[in-house]
Amino acid sequence: MHLSPIDWLIMLVYFVFVLGIGFALKRYMRTSTDFFLAGRSIPAWVCGLAFISANLGAQEVIGMGASGAKYGIITSHFYWIGAIPAMLFVGLFMMPFYYGSKARSVPEYLRLRYDEKTRAVNAFSFAIMTVFSSGISMYAMALLIQTLGLLHGIVPDAWVFHVSILLSAVIVLGYIFLGGLTSAIYNEVLQFFLIVAGFLPLVWIGLRNVGGWHGIQQKLPTTMTHSWRGMTHASTNSLGVEVVGLVMGLGFVLSFGYWCTDFLVIQRAMAAESQDSARRVPIIAAVPKMFFPFLVILPGLIAVSVTSHSSAMQPTAITQQASGHALPLDEAHPHGIIPQKVDPISGHPILDTNGNPVYDYDLAIPVMLLHFFPTGILGLGLTALLASFMSGMAGNVTAFNTVWTYDIYQSYIKKDASDAHYLWMGRIATIGGILLSIAAAYAVTNFNNIMDALQLIFSLVNAPLFATFLLGMFWKRTTGHGAFTGLLSGTAAALVHHGLTIPADAVPGIHGGWIHVVHTYPSDMAQNFWTAIFAFGVNLLVTTVVSLFTKPRPEPELVGLVYSLTPKAPEHHLTWYQKPLTLALGVLAVLIALNLVFA
């Protein structure tokens, strides 16, 4: 693929602007609060866009596009079941605890509610998770650069993947090292608008080419074009999950576990200028989040609907060079213009256990850009993709440096240092987080859908943690010993379940079955959902039992940390449309309508 000077110029301007924001904000980074929490001075709407943009990394754009191509419109459940209800819950119930307690991080809230050992378990597991999530974004960006041949002729082909990872690491390191969370937040807002501007034309052109939504419905199996059809049994839908696994695994455990406990997104809301603003942040973010399936999942569906017989519109299409020719649709496993997966290090095609080709669904969005976009718009589309990767990496690295500095370094290594020292350590942690992310990027090469990898990480870390939070916030009898034992037991249960089960056509190892295979799931995602359910259930049970046999903390110590003991914030000074409950009910009504339309 050959980019025109206009395409290169668009990408160059973006990178200069991103680094420029970091340099411009460096002089305002005087204290550790400025660096880690943006001085708690950012307006609600900016925090709201950053709240979803921090989640709009490679795993969202590439992962959801890949899942759309692999599973169909059923992937919309990750938004309409697996995000929006939890985001509303965070705004209505969780933010008063986080913001009101003045905790600087999620692990610090656990210390205030429970004890030091519970905070330690969460701090270390969360640090590992952010590194893997950042690595996923880094891997996706390197894969994109390699697939599109952006460095072809500049760097030897065998080194493109490695150089791309280093390049992305250096750029993200630059603007986070200089401007901290403030730099990340303002860049995330910029990236939000870039992604919308780059992907709207792609969806419009793609839909025109395949005959609109009706054309997609005619080309693809019914289960790929209806979000609720076939959900009564795992074998009758493309996701391989029945309704119980979906609602409990994704809709409750994974979604609430992520949005309620993941410091990556909570950190954005905590940067708001007041508690009222902080409560509105996730609810404001839920509005655009509801419509993201049309922006990121629909291109995946279009990619598997385009056949070798489709006549792409001449003025708006370019020859797909990087990924071969469009392939005929296969009714059982449609792959359209999705290329076969190739090992990025060895360059050899990858086959499953039956010797069939493995298709690289992660390339659904990139091949769509190549297939449909002309010069100029292609540069904008590629910049939008690169922006999503930067957003994902930066979000995780800023969360990592905060948790490392406050919850690990200050708590266990150097307790009484000056604020300037912790600011310095935050910058050093940024470098460390980037280096660890590079290692994680190479580990992710074993998955053909990064969303599968991401949900596995969430099921191991966030799912058991959610039970700890749920009991701690709504049951004052929960004890620190109970929380600590439950958290360890839940995480162990997740690991054991993963080690005893495996998805169909997978080889024992990173996909599961590394202890012994006792059960096979229809898909990676089904395995992830049930891993999360086991982790949550075991944690809930163990925490409850241990808490009943150990001494709880006195109630006065739990004011502001437990729902029943926390004074409700007054809302009489807010107009009706500013009240979080009113906003949440409006979002919920639209959400129900979307589920009915695509059922």
Q: What is the CATH number of the domain that holds 225?
A: 1.20.1730.10
- Does some domain include residue 259? yes
Strand partners, 155: 152
pTM above 0.85? no
Burial per residue of 122-160, b for 16 or more beta-carbon CB atoms within 10 angstroms, e otherwise = bbebbbbbbbbbbbbbbbbbbbbbbbbbbbeeebeeeeb
Yes or no: say if 302 and 268 are a contact pair by the CB < 8 Å rule: no
Burial per residue of 15-46, b for 16 or more beta-carbon CB atoms within 10 angstroms, e otherwise = beebbebbeebeeebeebbbbbbbbbebebeb
| Residue 488 token pair | 């360890």
Residue 91 is given by DSSP the state I
Yes or no: say if 487 and 464 are a contact pair by the CB < 8 Å rule: yes
What's the one-letter identity of residue 65? G
Rounded CA-CA distance 534/496 in Å is 10
What is the pLDDT, as a whole number, of residue 40?
Answer: 56
What is the three-class DSSP state of 140? helix
Residue 144: half-sphere exposure toward Cβ, Cα within 13 Å = 29
Residue 502 is given by DSSP the state E
At 220, give phi and psi (nearest 5°): -105, 160
Angle in degrees, CA 580, 583, 584, rounded to 5: 85
Q: Name residue, tokens 């680094």.
A: 19
- Does some domain include residue 31? yes
Give the closest residue to 437 by CA, choosing from 139, 227, 237: 139
| Residue 558 token pair | 């739990």
Query: Domain limits at 388?
Result: 5-448
| Residue 422 token pair | 């912790």
- Does some domain include residue 80? yes
- Does some domain include residue 102? yes
Q: Give the DSSP H or E segment for 451.
A: helix 450-474
Say how many domains are in the chain. 1
- Does some domain include residue 313? yes
Yes or no: say if 47 and 281 are a contact pair by the CB < 8 Å rule: yes
| Residue 104 token pair | 């600087």
Tens-of-pLDDT digits for all 599 residues of the chain?
Answer: 567 888 888 888 888 887 777 677 666 666 666 666 555 567 767 777 777 776 676 667 778 888 888 888 888 998 999 899 999 998 888 887 777 766 667 788 888 899 999 988 888 888 888 888 888 888 878 877 887 777 777 888 788 888 888 888 888 887 777 767 667 777 777 878 888 888 899 999 999 988 898 988 888 888 788 888 888 887 787 778 888 888 888 888 888 888 887 776 777 777 777 778 888 888 988 988 899 899 989 999 999 888 643 333 333 332 333 333 444 445 555 677 888 877 766 777 877 777 777 788 878 888 888 888 887 788 888 888 887 777 778 778 888 888 888 888 888 888 888 888 888 898 898 899 899 989 888 877 766 566 677 778 888 888 898 899 899 988 999 999 999 999 999 999 999 999 999 988 788 887 888 999 999 988 888 898 899 999 999 999 999 999 999 999 999 888 888 888 877 767 677 777 778 888 899 999 999 999 898 88
Please list, in sequence order, all residues whose beta carbon lies within 8 angstroms of the beta carbon of residue 105, skipping any fewer than 6 positions away: 263, 267, 402, 403, 406, 407
Rounded CA-CA distance 20/190 in Å is 13
What is the pLDDT, as a whole number, of residue 28?
Answer: 63
Rounded CA-CA distance 230/499 in Å is 28
- Does some domain include residue 577? no
What is the pLDDT, as a whole number, of residue 329?
Answer: 47
Q: Say how far residue 450 (Cα) sits from the centre of its chain.
A: 10
Measured CA distances, 447 to 486, 495, 517 (Å): 30, 18, 19
| Residue 368 token pair | 């769509």
Yes or no: say if 199 and 383 are a contact pair by the CB < 8 Å rule: no
Rounded CA-CA distance 457/203 in Å is 30
Rounded CA-CA distance 104/127 in Å is 15
DSSP string, 361-422: GGGHHHHHHHHH--TTHHHHHHHHHHHHHHHHHHHHHHHHHHIIIIIIIIIII-SS--HHHH
Burial per residue of 493-510, b for 16 or more beta-carbon CB atoms within 10 angstroms, e otherwise = bbbebbbebbbeebeeee
- Does some domain include residue 359? yes
Residue 558: half-sphere exposure toward Cβ, Cα within 13 Å = 20
- Does some domain include residue 24? yes
What is the pLDDT, as a whole number, of residue 203?
Answer: 92
